[in-house]
């Protein structure tokens, strides 16, 4: 017998396969790039980076398995966006740039590595897409992005059930409930360009909201989305975030979705967004603003069922990629 | 080494902890009160009572684990209501009054104990919040409340997929499909103050609806909520329930939610409410009417996933407490 | 002791029981009919047929257990439709006609058997309700229906996240991604009477949509439902499907629902319909058009939780039966 | 197209199918018999009866779904016993006699119906195999068997983690912790022919064991099986049970298995038997003694995973049938 | 209606209930003691302490929920040990001393608090039973015990799949793979009194075993248990551990069990002990040696099913308590 | 900020990570080789190949996800075998050679691709380790191995609950119940060198065993392992398989394990082997015979829990690699 493995025919990359479960699991079967030298050589438009870190969680951990799950367990049927009518990877070159190394139980080293790896992407003008990990990783990740685009020059739209603006929680200043405070205090992002969408429930307390107001932060409670609809709120949000900025960082805590759609997360809060609304909100940002980075955090696979949460997180990334692809095609056309 | 456990600092109650999973599991980490003498001494505003009883279920049992799950497994991040801007426990003193004892396999004794324990609360003018258990417990619980406020003087708003107004089911007159019939037949609650929200599906049959009509009952099918929206329907419902009454008992069968949000229940019926709508409906009642009691029933943890149903039930209670707190602050202010 | 099993009293059929979990599991406890001779004798209005076949799936299998699950695990509380106010089985005689035999691993034989068994139903003017199985079974099933009503004379309303109109997938022309292509190519159904509802996500690619357009097919993306609402879209859809046809085949891929409501399916796509909308869409078809067949496919019990998906599929069937019953009563009345 | 459903070929019964998941779910695909008249006509060797009753449980309920699960979800690959080299149904005629009707929430009526239905079998000299249900059903079931073979004439071998010989539990005399007390007190079975295997853990207390000793009961702790091996212990057990009796009732509480093998049960106790040992213990009884009845109880599907517990319970029944078949062939040969 | 809650009768403590799921969840329904003053007043024989800490895990986290699960979800049917014939709490006074406070994401503070709280117990001559938490907590816990009994005076029998004697893992010296190194290096425990049981698999590497040998440590691989049986190995182990010591600390990593019995753990290794063997090994230590402390660690509820792992951990504690009770009765008698 | 990702230090391969969940998921973090040219260049000792094919299953599918799960979800703590005292990858060079492409729903093409890819390995004298997929893949895989070592020159030891020697099942000759018949009929393997271990239960029927006997096959029922112990049986088995052969193919159907340890499989049969016994049986083959190929099949992740089955399958492979490594070191030394 000869070495006659002609199936699938030559065009298909034998490493990544035809089916979502076949071959080696990179994000969406995209080419894998291990180090910065290769990244420099490839110069893609977007690089996906994992941040498998979850020890800053106050309730259910497990988000360390988020990047692995997004690569290995998501179902991705195709790459043509039905509403935008765009073939994503015809317009964008995207790679999987592996994980920032997160030593277990060690916050400082893990955060430093995340900042370094995201910076390796952003400093080349490549859009980093960061797969968390818990929300504490937004502090090093967004700082790394601001390092490139300029401190105070990047707006943020932050989807979440929680504001994550506490000063500390139980003495922990690197908690997943504090990263937005760190970002604003550091000056990497200005409060007036920091917009939150989807807040609800019973936290943080009033004094934290007072601090947020002092910083000029804006937030849109789920109550407002319930009353005005998500489309109207998003128009407001994008205007607020981009007021004086030309670069947008988008941070999606998957718990902005109702736990019925995204059970696989650490601090679930009933009464959240639907996937239909969230995906269109992300799309609006991608097609309207200059998105320079995206993170999707708090996907905790041990609490997921039938990959519901994983697939929602995957589609948030795909929706962003599709929107950016659509915008580029339009600009190019 | 000395007895120097200074962490957490003195202000925190060492029994109940900082995290939802820490320490001894009372409802929301509230103080536990075991007997009526202590209740008399404490005279709180609200007392939470468990009714771990589930043998009246016609399909999936498991609700006996409801109170334990609401105490031990719910995630509760804070106590400041973001929409109402109220710190709940600044306004309300709430305790966990333990469980009514429900001997296994014995309906009559269990129901008698539930009635006695709820009455111990209500007779002191304390608002009982009853954690079921299956829906049959509403008969003893609401009767105990009427014992204090007067038979025929208490309105009921009842959220449910099912009317629970059958005369009997398979010969069982204490079934979880019959408690509302018992309540009305007994005279504890008048049919004309009994309002149902969320009914859908294929049960009960036409003759039961005929009986309901004869009693002057009102009901709002999910079809009506689908057409008019939950906010409009709730305005109607509260007016109907309070017509001639000044005290409102609210009964929430968690299966009023769509099973996508609340899988952990015994008789799931597709096509139900969203958590966003239910929580606001409960809030409306709390802030508008004089709520004197709440029960949340049919939470069956063996069928739950990632505490979805448990957290929804927990938030129904918190929403009620927040609404009452908001109203009291307003009245006091 | 005598043979005195008088409980339940004589009226109840001892085979099928009072509770959903009691006795022998036929669909909804309906009479079981094993062969065509008995079917001929019974001449019911509707016959439910299982198609336990799942090897044409491109991602998660398991739909072979769909018929068993719909019979054995669904919860069905009653038979009186609350919105339509119709007692279903007072108007319709419905039987369980067992399964088409699907030899494992063998597509051609399985499909042939499905076509034969559905035809045994349809050729007698009985409405077949087919429980899949993966979506590939719609090709033999709808062909069998067209065999009776006339090729090119049957319209289709097809609820799905995916168009299923690929020519082939990875060389497989009998894939669950290709049945609608086969149907239209064969001539059994005309493209212009083929209407799709709920499409979303990233598949199929542009060339497939071009082919669909050439055939005169119509489709309504989730985006359109998000903008216009499902009620308005359905009015359009029914008009399109019935344009020139008098018989309607309805095909419901359960993945048209958002995975939050229907996790138990093979190729989940976030951003789908709610059960409340889907059930009313099905109802509209049943009460408006001349529905001659229904299939409900892609229910994969290994991925379900707490029978969420199973119950949604069951209610799709019940909603259809109720709508037809209502229409017949009205026509008769 | 003709009614040409020739697949599977004529020999196969179209009702019950080739695969475990195909067709109508009777126990092992055996013929279904609904009433005593048909049973009288058929006169099988064995009749399987369900007892879907679980309200006497002290901890996790769910055993009401046991009979349904054993019929619908068990995997049964064949009928030829590899060790005994016997084709079971060549030697034995076995039918599925449906369920005793168990009205929800009503112990007395349920137990009466169980006794009546089991008696309908036993009084014809047919071996009843009862699928529980919680263990309280052994009292009516074994009494019904003793009604036929003579009170005090039937020995019992009882596999269980718990003795189930309490007088009452929390005032309940029909608890699943009390049936063996009721049986012995009634005189239906003599204490000296009552042998227990597999007891372990922390219940019942010393006074109950004292009562057991007074009755002449014998028990074999797991400690003894751990020391002597199950084969040696079983030889002792069968001798004890049959001392003065010629008929043996076997009661298998599935919790005699370690919870690692049988998680789907109500009161799990670590440190139990392995399936390999239990199946051979049952086989020894079947091939050695005159087994006249078997019950398998406490299978609680909501707590099962991947049908582990269900399949173990199914194999206990198959092992018993195979042993009886082997013995009959041998006697006949 | 009066305050007539006479059920259960006065003797029963209304706080903790009759059923495992009733009332407030302390460990086994034992009295709760919050602070050291109350502990000093009560002077029990044993105090159970939680250590909800899991950020030192190298793979699956979740053990922070271990103490909560052991209190709230374990099933405990009674308190009379069937093999030892001892009523545990007739001989021993045991209390639940709550949790050491473990600030999230902060190892040093958490470990300090664990050491302080365990020391508060041990310094009073009370036996601490520590519920982990990951295995890193054994370092502060066992040090706290040695603080009282004398450094170098306490032997350890350590059940585990892994030696946990690495110097560091990925730069982390407080990892759950390093606590035994820290203990021996510190001098709190001598290597020659450190005995390990159940090691297997592929870690640690050879140089770690070389270090262990240098310290005089002894270990018994699963291979040895497979060949010699656990009873014989345990006799050797107890002699080794007590050689020159009179006080024994027992540390049970629940992953010493095969994952088939204990799936709910972080680093599962196939080929482990059975519960029957482990419980008897613990019993042997309790009845033979002077056990002064016990920890049970690495119970990760998110990965558990049907409380299998939780119940095994609970029984390890009960077996230890029963053995100590038996020994005390014997000594006293 | 510079590209200063110095963590982990240079020695670590950034692609595959320190933790089991980090980086790109190849089998055990081994180097990935996509095509035969690279394989030719690398010339490793062992190459792992996936065969994601499951449509020949007669009951529960899902094994198509086996290779992905073994790569992405297994927990592998280290590489030093504690019993054999060998550092596996010091002795053996092992690579991940990706998957044979298995077009969905197409048996013939899938099997041809499996045979081609395994042959690409075996023809270079590299040991293929094939991760199934269902058991039908053993026919193309073992044939590919025999193509290199000579037809009739390769013995097989086959661990399984089922003989898989049917001629056909329901007309399917490529069923997962038939591969061993195909292998022997083809002449690739001689019946007298085909040894089966672990058979139990109720299938296949007597005539199949008669055929097996005619071929000179040998089999060792679980009954024999229960009586003689697995060590003794394995000594017999290896002698039988190697009688006249010098090359051994080992096929491990994970369902040879009891379902308590390996729930994630398609056709579970209670009463199977323990992991402790199976791992040592595999070790004996590796250290005694000249193993030239291994397959591990029927791992069905949708039915697994907490990676129990996945980890067992992973350890079967590791045990084989460790045994071969040990043997090579010994021979070399």
pLDDT, tens digit, 9 for 90 and up, residues E271-316: 999 999 999 999 999 999 999 999 999 999 999 999 999 999 999 9
pLDDT value, residue B9: 41
Q: Pick from B59, B264, B303: which is nearest to C19 by CB?
A: B59
Quick one: closest CA in F to D273, which residue? Answer: F271
On whether residue D6 sits in a domain, the answer given is no
Mean pLDDT, range D185-189, rounded to an integer: 97
Number of helices (H), then strands (E), belonging to chain C: the values are: 11, 10
Contact F280 E226 (CB under 8 A): yes
Q: From chain F, which residues contact C within 8 Å (Cβ)?
A: 54-58, 60-62, 64-65, 103-107, 109, 169-172, 174-175, 302-303
Quick one: closest CA in E to B62, which residue? Answer: E21
β partners of residue C132: C51
Mean pLDDT, range A235-259, rounded to an integer: 96
pLDDT value, residue C12: 47
On whether residue A244 sits in a domain, the answer given is yes
pLDDT value, residue B3: 64
Neighbours of E25 (CB within 10 A): 26
Residues of F in Cβ contact (< 8 Å) with C106: 170-172
Q: From chain B, which residues contact C within 8 Å (Cβ)?
A: 58-60, 162, 170, 199-206, 221-223, 226, 258-261, 263-264, 267-272, 303-305
Residues of F in Cβ contact (< 8 Å) with C302: 60, 62, 302-303
What band does B5 get if pLDDT is binned at 50, 70 and 90?
A: low
Distance (Å) of CA D158 to CA D221, D252, D295, F185: 12, 6, 10, 48
Residue C161 has pLDDT above 50, yes or no: yes
Neighbours of C260 (CB within 10 A): 29
Residue C11 has pLDDT above 80, yes or no: no
- As given in the structure block, the two tokens for residue F245 are 């052969």
On whether residue A5 sits in a domain, the answer given is no
Q: Residue A280: phi, psi to the nearest 5?
A: -70, -30
Least Cα separation, residue F287 to chain E (angstroms): 16
DSSP assignments along E106-162, one per residue: -HHHHHHHHHHHHHHHHTTTPEEEEEESSGGGHHHHHHHHHHHH-TT-EEEEEE-SS
Mean pLDDT, range D241-258, rounded to an integer: 96
Least Cα separation, residue E179 to chain B (angstroms): 20
| 3 state SS of E12 | coil
Question: Rounded to whole angstroms, how far apart are CA atoms B325 and B320?
Answer: 8
To probe the interface with A, which of C161, C175, C202 has the most A CB atoms within 10 Å? C202
Question: Rounded to whole angstroms, how far apart are CA atoms E312 and E319?
Answer: 10
Average pLDDT taken over every residue of chain C: 94
Q: Total domain count for chain A?
A: 1
Contact F99 A65 (CB under 8 A): no
pLDDT value, residue C333: 66
Q: Which of A162-166, D259-263, F3-7 has the lowest mean pLDDT?
A: F3-7
Residue D60 has pLDDT above 70, yes or no: yes
Contacts of C131 (CB under 8 A, 6+ apart): C27, C48, C49, C50, C51, C66, C67, C70, C295, C296, C297, C299, C313, C317
Contact F259 D78 (CB under 8 A): no
Contact E318 D272 (CB under 8 A): no
| B-E interface (Cβ pairs under 8 Å ≥ 3) | yes
Q: Can you give the pTM of this predicted structure? A: 0.97
On whether residue F11 sits in a domain, the answer given is no
On whether residue E19 sits in a domain, the answer given is no
pLDDT value, residue E19: 95
Strand A154-159 to B46-51 pairing = unpaired
Least Cα separation, residue D228 to chain C (angstroms): 41
Contact A200 B83 (CB under 8 A): yes
Q: Pick from D222, D270, D305: which is nearest to E305 by CB?
A: D305
Residues of E in Cβ contact (< 8 Å) with D303: 306
β partners of residue A86: A81
pLDDT value, residue D110: 97
Reported as a single tens digit per residue, the pLDDT across F164-203 is 999 999 999 999 999 999 999 999 999 999 999 999 999 9
3-state SS record for chain B: CCCCCCCCCCCCCCCCCCCCCCCCECHHHCCECCCHHHHHHHCCCEEEEEECCCCCCCCCCCHHHHHHHHHHCCCCCCCEECCCCEEHHHHCCEEEEEECCCCCCCHHHHHHHHHHHHHHHHCCCCEEEEEECCHHHHHHHHHHHHHHHCCCCEEEEEECCCCCCCCCECCECCCCCCHHHHHHHHCCCCHHHEEEEEECCCCCCHHHHHHHHHCCCEEEEHHHHHHHCHHHHHHHHHHHHHCCCCEEEEEEEHHHECCCCCCCCCCCCCCCECHHHHHHHHHHHHHHCCEEEEEEECCCHHHCCCCHHHHHHHHHHHHHHHHHHHHHHHHHC
pLDDT value, residue B11: 41
Mean pLDDT, range E54-69, rounded to an integer: 98
Residue E151 has pLDDT above 80, yes or no: yes
Residue E171 has pLDDT above 90, yes or no: yes
On whether residue B310 sits in a domain, the answer given is yes
Chains in contact with A, counting 3 or more C-beta pairs less than 8 Å apart as contact: B, C, E, F
To probe the interface with C, which of F57, F61, F69 has the most C CB atoms within 10 Å? F61
ipTM for the whole complex: 0.95
pLDDT value, residue D12: 47
Q: From chain C, which residues contact B within 8 Å (Cβ)?
A: 8, 18-21, 75-83, 85, 87-88, 258, 260-262, 274-276, 279-280, 305-308, 311-312, 315, 318, 322
Residues of E in Cβ contact (< 8 Å) with B105: none
To probe the interface with C, which of A18, A22, A82, A304 has the most C CB atoms within 10 Å? A82
Average pLDDT taken over every residue of chain B: 95
Reported as a single tens digit per residue, the pLDDT across B153-166 is 999 999 999 999 99
Q: Pick from F8, F87, F260: which is nearest to E206 by CB?
A: F87
To probe the interface with C, which of B165, B202, B265, B306 has the most C CB atoms within 10 Å? B202
Question: Rounded to whole angstroms, how far apart are CA atoms A174 and A56?
Answer: 7
What band does D59 get if pLDDT is binned at 50, 70 and 90?
A: very high
Mean pLDDT, range F94-102, rounded to an integer: 96
Cβ E100 vs Cβ E329: under 8 Å: no
On whether residue C199 sits in a domain, the answer given is yes
Quick one: closest CA in A to F9, which residue? Answer: A101
Reported as a single tens digit per residue, the pLDDT across B309-328 is 999 999 999 999 999 999 99
β partners of residue F262: none
Contacts of F293 (CB under 8 A, 6+ apart): F118, F122, F127, F128, F129, F130, F141, F142, F145, F249, F250
Residue B13 has pLDDT above 60, yes or no: no
Residue A8 has pLDDT above 90, yes or no: no
pLDDT value, residue D184: 98
Q: Which long-range contacts (CB under 8 A, 24 or more apart) does C327-332 make?
A: C327/C286, C327/C287, C328/C91, C328/C92, C329/C86, C329/C91
pLDDT value, residue E9: 40
pLDDT above 70 covers a percentage of chain C that reads 95
| D-C interface (Cβ pairs under 8 Å ≥ 3) | yes
Q: Pick from F57, F65, F104: which is nearest to C104 by CB?
A: F57
Residues of D in Cβ contact (< 8 Å) with B64: 61
Quick one: closest CA in E to D264, which residue? Answer: E306
Residues of B in Cβ contact (< 8 Å) with E64: 21
| CATH number of the domain encompassing residue D242 | 3.40.800.10
pLDDT value, residue E18: 86
Angle at the Cα of F26 (from F23 to F29), degrees rounded to 5? 70
Question: Rounded to whole angstroms, how far apart are CA atoms C311 and C317?
Answer: 10
Nearest to D314, CA basis, from D14, D111, D29: D29
Residue A9 has pLDDT above 50, yes or no: no
Residues of D in Cβ contact (< 8 Å) with F220: none
| A-B interface (Cβ pairs under 8 Å ≥ 3) | yes
On whether residue F178 sits in a domain, the answer given is yes
What band does A44 get if pLDDT is binned at 50, 70 and 90?
A: very high
Domain that holds residue D158: 27-332
Residue D164 has pLDDT above 70, yes or no: yes
Reported as a single tens digit per residue, the pLDDT across A49-84 is 999 999 999 999 999 999 999 999 999 989 999 999
């Amino acid at each position: 017998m000869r070495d006659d493995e002609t199936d699938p025919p030559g065009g298909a990359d034998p490493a990544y396969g035809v089916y979502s479960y076949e071959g080696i699991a990179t994000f969406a079967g995209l080419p894998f790039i291990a180090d910065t030298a290769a990244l420099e050589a490839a110069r893609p438009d977007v690089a996906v980076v994992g941040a498998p870190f979850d020890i800053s969680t106050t309730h259910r951990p497990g988000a360390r398995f988020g990047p692995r799950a997004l690569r290995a367990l998501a179902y991705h049927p195709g790459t043509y966006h039905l509403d935008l009518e765009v073939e994503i990877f015809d317009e964008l070159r995207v790679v999987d740039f592996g994980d920032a190394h997160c030593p277990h139980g060690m916050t400082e080293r893990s955060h430093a590595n995340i900042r370094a790896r995201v910076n390796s992407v952003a400093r080349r003008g490549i859009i980093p897409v960061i797969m968390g990990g818990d929300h504490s990783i937004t502090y090093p990740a967004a700082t790394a992005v601001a390092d490139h685009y300029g401190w105070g020059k990047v707006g943020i739209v932050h989807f979440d059930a929680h504001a994550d603006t506490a000063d500390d929680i139980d003495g922990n200043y690197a908690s997943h409930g504090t990263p937005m405070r760190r970002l604003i205090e550091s000056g990497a992002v200005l409060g007036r360009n920091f917009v939150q969408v989807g807040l609800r429930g019973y936290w943080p307390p009033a004094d934290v909201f007072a601090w947020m107001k002092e910083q000029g932060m804006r937030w849109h409670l789920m109550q407002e989305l319930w009353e005005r609809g998500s489309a109207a709120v998003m128009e407001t949000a994008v205007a607020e975030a981009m007021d004086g900025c030309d670069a947008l960082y988008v941070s999606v805590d998957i718990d902005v979705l109702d736990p019925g759609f995204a059970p696989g997360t650490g601090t679930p809060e009933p009464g959240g967004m639907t996937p239909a609304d969230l995906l269109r909100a992300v799309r609006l940002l991608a097609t309207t603003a200059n998105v320079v980075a995206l993170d999707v955090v708090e996907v905790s696979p041990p609490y997921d069922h039938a990959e519901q949460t994983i697939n929602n997180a995957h589609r948030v990334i795909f929706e962003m990629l599709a929107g950016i692809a659509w915008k580029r095609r339009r600009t190019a056309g």
